[in-house]
Amino acid sequence: MLKGPLPASLALEEEGLAGRYGSLIEVAAYDLREIAAEKGRALLTRRTAKTRDLADLFLMETRKGIRLEDHLELVARKTEASVKAAARYRQNLQLIEGRFDFMRDDEAEGLMLKPLPEPAFRRYRERVLTLLTELAPTLST
């Protein structure tokens, strides 16, 4: 999802080097909607807060149009399956308020090669954390 010129720390020493020593390969990857839903589930059930998941979701929305709100049913199904399978996820789900409070104050600086637009990211973070806070009590545990 990195766009634009590479930072100097990632620039190749010699122009065209990658083309001479490598070739394109096909890589299997999850669909972005699945990744978004999994990140939503992780935010709900992980023991420690991960602002990186919010940053990834923000980039998925702003660059690819994948909105977490559009995939809440999948987030709910994944979360319900997780909390049924592991008691620790059930406990973590019940304690999201404290983790989310921490995440509201956590800085995204240092997580990305290029800085996120802070005002837009802060608004996004608040919207998603509120959305997930409202979803949590509706899940069957």
Task: Please tell me the distance from the alpha carbon of residue 89 to that of residue 137, in angstroms, as a whole number.
Answer: 14
Residue 15 lies in a domain: no
Identify the pLDDT of residue 91: 95
Residue 88 lies in a domain: yes
Residue 25 lies in a domain: no
Domain span at residue 120? Answer: 31-138
Residue 10 lies in a domain: no
Q: Report pLDDT digits (tens) over 53-88.
A: 999 999 999 999 999 999 999 999 999 999 999 999
Identify the pLDDT of residue 1: 47
- Mean pLDDT value of segment 114-126: 93
* Confidence band of 17 (pLDDT split at 50, 70, 90): low
What kind and span of H or E run contains 126?
helix 118-135
Whether the Cβ atoms of residue 62 and residue 56 lie closer than 8 Å to each other: no
Number of structural domains found in the chain: 1
- Mean pLDDT value of segment 137-141: 90
Identify the pLDDT of residue 67: 98
Identify the pLDDT of residue 111: 81
Percent of the chain residues topping a pLDDT of 90: 67
Identify the pLDDT of residue 69: 97
Residue 114 lies in a domain: yes
Residue 117 lies in a domain: yes
Identify the pLDDT of residue 108: 83
HSE-CB at 22 with a 13 A cutoff on CA atoms is 7
Residue 6 lies in a domain: no
Residue 65 lies in a domain: yes
